[in-house]
Chains A and B, each alone.
Chain A
Amino acid sequence: MRVDAGKTPLTKSRWRWVIAFISLLLLGVLPTRTPIALANSQDDLTPEDAPGWLNLERGDRGATVESLQALLAGLGYGSAIDGLYGEDTAALIATFQADQGLPNGGAVTAQTWGVLWTAPWQDLTIMGPPMVDTSPIIDPNQPPAPSPLWLVSMPAVPLLGGILTYWKRRLLQATDSTRPSLQSGTTSPMTTNLVRYFPLIGLTVVSLTAFGSYVTLRSQLSPPVLAALGQVADTQSSQLDDWFDQQRQAVLEAATASEILPQIEILLTNRNTQDVEYLKAYTIFSAYLETLEGFGETQPEISLLTIGGIVVFSTDPQREGQYQPIQNTTTYFEAQQSNVVPTIYISPISQALQITFATPVLDETDQRLGVLAIDLDLGNLDQRIREFPPLQDLPAIAPIASRTSYTVGRASLVKNEIIRDHSTLDSDAAQDAGVSSRGIDNAMGGISGNGLYLNYDKVPVLGVYRWASRHNLALLVEVDQAEVFESARKVARNILAIGFTLTALISWVLSRRPPAAPVSGLPSSTGDAPDVPPGLPDQQ
């Protein structure tokens, strides 16, 4: 029985076409738009989109109003935080809106909230914006990870598409079973090709979508992180200044204590180390060093040298009696020098970078008695620098565990090394070759900046590098790219998983249909070869 042979296949193929098209559309549009839309949502949030609690008017009261007032206060608009949206608050809002060029005199809309939250407020310590953890639009620095809703709904897309396709096909098959399968001359070649090449097309579309989303998200993720790293670098730079100032001050203090001068004089002049007076002076000097407070928690090695460079006292007793050259390696300064650039060298004892501050010990007549040489506790400096400033001000890098900051000094003309505790040195085999990365090399060349590069361990990082010329050190603050781009990676992974499943499913569904032979008379759009009449027996 031939029933309307011209019409039915057309409808069927149109169905297939529509389903395939919708699936592709979902595949292509939904995944890319959603996360990016979330990341940007604060820009295109309209009042209609806003949750109810966001819209405030005169007479409202509660925690949201308090937050509003706190935000306003932080920006310098008023100071009262009473949770009541009265005339005062309305007036403040109107002023704020006028200042920011916003419409709506006196009422708070999503737009106002957006400007409030992104405005550069500084001294806001009272309270943050409401529901910080649940709202995706609050933190301007952190493009949020895809919402759980999105993650749940995405797998539903292929399932739905698959079920729909399968169901439709079953229905069509049931009604078709009595009809001979005939290809219509009116089926467009494009539709046919779309169906026939669906696996390849699907694969391409899915991969491209995942790639596009990944690259776009990635490019959005790095600027806020770099900005936050820059802030950390600023803080650490001043830490560096403070630490060196403190050490320098402590060295000068230790050398200018007049009450200990007689003992120092004995130590420097009395060559008989078994002499009672000498031993007494030794003990007193040793006890004096214990009482020094200027060095804080750092534990430097302190040595007392004669003018000739012979160590007469040292907190490291092995050095006593040895000759310690002061010329090349030591950073020698006197009390009146205000700016001292430390000299960095490789310690022959620990094979690690070392800075030795030295200052003369003067007697009452300002004659130089000897020299106090102090090996700074660079392990402590490293510890200080590696400690990050409070992270609540740095939301962009707070959740990133791989954050690190460290200082690098020049060990020789061709070799740079990381400042670190001597005791941790042995574990690092790469020490002999020194460390190198674009950040380190740039900073050592006197260039400060930021960027994406491989760190000294060949791990891709986002980093900020600074050259601290006052201290002859490079300061680097870095986070692993992998961790920063994790949310982009997850989005790409989800798109791939969903897309590949969908492609496989649709391809399977489509392949269950008898392949539509190229229509005679219509050129094959792939242009592969001269047309062969469909009736020819398959050469396979």
Chain B
Amino acid sequence: MWFLLRLYLPICAAILVGAIISYGLGLPWVQKRSKRPLHQVLPAYLGRFLFLVGVPLSIVNFLHRADLSGGVFIAPVVAWGVMALALVCSRFWIRPNQRVWPRPAQGTFSLATMLGNTGYIGFPVVLLLPKLGPDYFGWALFYDVMGTILGAYVVGVILAAQFGHRPDGAPEKPWYSSLKELLKNPTILAFVAGLALRPVPFPELLDQGLNGFAWSIVMLSLVLMGIRLQQLSSWGNLQRAMAAVSIRMMLIPLVVGMVLTAIGVVGPPRLVMVLQAGMPSAFATLVLAETYELDRELAVTCVGLSSAMLLLTLPFWLWGFCTW
């Protein structure tokens, strides 16, 4: 179990650092001394930096050294399968009691079940896990970029629009407007650029510098996770959140793992897919819930609860699907 320590130590340490920073910035005497609310400004800037610069560059770096052989293109298929399954399962959970579920809560429930945090926490887990490492980053990346991100921008937006309210007075946007957003997404641009740059050998200094930068981005994104988790305030709707998180983090990875086993995908690729399928609910759920006036409280609880739950589920998936 020493490798769990090697995985948990950096992840927990980085998240703890983020939480402490956020807590410190939220203290009254810090707020009094700065003109702006630092505890809100800092994560916003950090998030923007990671979104626009950090994550794209680290994707280029890891994509450059990832092994893309051996059916890595199954990953998006699995990701879409996971999202479909999650959607179906969430409907199965809601349907028997549909009349007592407010529509916004239904939307949030489905989104929280469907979208996993495969980027900000999924990448670090795959990269830091001694049994996987950067060799298998390609699988995680394909899952995230071609699965989760596309899913969030297309299915997620459609779903949120269906279950939520458009802000009053806002002009009606055609459904494909979110596709334009998709094309401007730096992660996807970096993914394309990274694929294009793969055959180009980087000079050694650039290669090493980029690698160091990419690893610090991995840790920085965990710090940001910590800041955001610390600022999650509400723990309401715990029972609904429990259901969503159980489906997302226990049932779906189990089904994915067994189906992959059944069709003959074994070894590290299967573990990556199971882990990615079992990642906590994405922050994108929260963003969509806020934009489309869904049940924000439920989204917050789902994200917080599932992130904590990851520490418990990871050893189980490793025990079940990692035999090396």
Chain A contacts to B: CB under 8 angstroms? 193, 196-197, 199-200, 203-204, 207-208, 210-211, 214-215, 218, 438, 452-454, 458-461, 481-482, 485, 489, 492-493, 496-497, 515, 518, 524, 526-532, 536, 538-540
Contact B96 A197 (CB under 8 A): yes
Q: How far is the CB of B126 from chain A (nearest CB, A)?
A: 14
Which residues of chain A come closer than 8 Å to B263, judged between CB atoms?
493
Interface string of B132-176 (1 = CB under 8 A from A): 000100000000000000000000000000000000000000000
Task: Find A214's partner among B135, B247, B258 (CB 8 Å cutoff).
Answer: B258
Contact A197 B92 (CB under 8 A): yes
Which residues of chain B come closer than 8 Å to A531, judged between CB atoms?
100
Task: Find B262's partner among A196, A203, A492 (CB 8 Å cutoff).
Answer: A492
Contact B261 A492 (CB under 8 A): yes
B 222-280 contacts with A by CB, 8 A: 239-240, 243, 247, 251, 254-255, 257-259, 261-264, 266-268
* In the bound complex, CA of A532 to CA of B97 (Å): 10
Task: Find A529's partner among B101, B135, B323 (CB 8 Å cutoff).
Answer: B101
B315 on the A face (CB < 8 A):
no
Given A210-B262, A460-B268, A496-B258, list of 10 further CB < 8 A pairs?
A: A196-B95, A197-B92, A200-B92, A210-B261, A458-B268, A460-B266, A489-B266, A492-B261, A528-B240, A539-B99
Contact A532 B100 (CB under 8 A): yes
Which residues of chain B come closer than 8 Å to A200, judged between CB atoms?
89, 92-93, 247, 251
Contact size range, B: 20 to 34
Which residues of chain B come closer than 8 Å to A481, judged between CB atoms?
266-267, 323-324
Which residues of chain A come closer than 8 Å to B251, judged between CB atoms?
200, 203-204, 207
Task: Find B255's partner among A199, A207, A489, A538 (CB 8 Å cutoff).
Answer: A207
Contact B97 A211 (CB under 8 A): no
Q: How far is the CB of A163 from chain B (nearest CB, A)?
A: 24
Q: How far is the CB of B135 from chain A (nearest CB, A)?
A: 7
A-B contact pairs, 15 of them (CB 8 A): A193-B96, A203-B89, A207-B254, A210-B258, A210-B262, A211-B258, A460-B323, A481-B266, A481-B324, A482-B264, A482-B267, A492-B258, A492-B262, A493-B261, A539-B103
Q: How far is the CB of A187 from chain B (nearest CB, A)?
A: 14
Contact B320 A529 (CB under 8 A): no
Which residues of chain B come closer than 8 Å to A204, judged between CB atoms?
251, 254
Which residues of chain A come closer than 8 Å to B31, judged between CB atoms?
none
Contact B324 A453 (CB under 8 A): yes
* In the bound complex, CA of A304 to CA of B150 (Å): 70
Q: How far is the CB of A26 from chain B (nearest CB, A)?
A: 18
Contact B264 A489 (CB under 8 A): yes
Total A-B contacts with CB atoms under 8 angstroms apart: 100
Q: How far is the CB of A389 from chain B (nearest CB, A)?
A: 26
Contact B324 A454 (CB under 8 A): yes
Task: Find A524's partner among B97, B267, B323 (CB 8 Å cutoff).
Answer: B97
B98 on the A face (CB < 8 A):
yes
Known: A452-B323, A529-B100, A540-B98. A199 touches B92 (CB 8 A): yes
* In the bound complex, CA of A358 to CA of B71 (Å): 50
Which residues of chain B come closer than 8 Å to A461, judged between CB atoms?
324
* In the bound complex, CA of A485 to CA of B320 (Å): 13
Contact A528 B101 (CB under 8 A): yes
Which residues of chain A come closer than 8 Å to B92, judged between CB atoms?
197, 199-200
Which residues of chain B come closer than 8 Å to A196, judged between CB atoms?
95-96
Q: How far is the CB of B108 from chain A (nearest CB, A)?
A: 14
Which residues of chain A come closer than 8 Å to B254, judged between CB atoms?
204, 207-208, 211
Contact B323 A496 (CB under 8 A): no
Which residues of chain B come closer than 8 Å to A215, judged between CB atoms?
320
Known: A199-B92, A208-B254, A489-B266. A538 touches B98 (CB 8 A): yes
Contact B258 A528 (CB under 8 A): no
* In the bound complex, CA of A461 to CA of B268 (Å): 12
Q: How far is the CB of A449 from chain B (nearest CB, A)?
A: 14
Which residues of chain B come closer than 8 Å to A529, judged between CB atoms?
97, 100-101
* In the bound complex, CA of A458 to CA of B67 (Å): 11
Contact A489 B101 (CB under 8 A): no
Contact A482 B100 (CB under 8 A): no
Known: A493-B261, A538-B98. A203 touches B320 (CB 8 A): no
Contact B262 A496 (CB under 8 A): yes
* In the bound complex, CA of A193 to CA of B95 (Å): 12
Which residues of chain A come closer than 8 Å to B259, judged between CB atoms?
496
Q: How far is the CB of A266 from chain B (nearest CB, A)?
A: 55
* In the bound complex, CA of A199 to CA of B92 (Å): 7
Which residues of chain A come closer than 8 Å to B257, judged between CB atoms?
211
Contact A214 B261 (CB under 8 A): yes
Which residues of chain B come closer than 8 Å to A497, judged between CB atoms?
262
* In the bound complex, CA of A197 to CA of B324 (Å): 37
Contact B324 A528 (CB under 8 A): no
Task: Find A532's partner among B99, B135, B258 (CB 8 Å cutoff).
Answer: B99
Contact A207 B97 (CB under 8 A): no
Which residues of chain B come closer than 8 Å to A197, judged between CB atoms?
92-93, 96
* In the bound complex, CA of A526 to CA of B239 (Å): 8
Which residues of chain A come closer than 8 Å to B101, judged between CB atoms?
528-529
Known: A458-B135, A460-B324, A538-B98. A485 touches B266 (CB 8 A): yes
Contact A211 B93 (CB under 8 A): no
Contact A493 B97 (CB under 8 A): no
Q: How far is the CB of A456 from chain B (nearest CB, A)?
A: 13
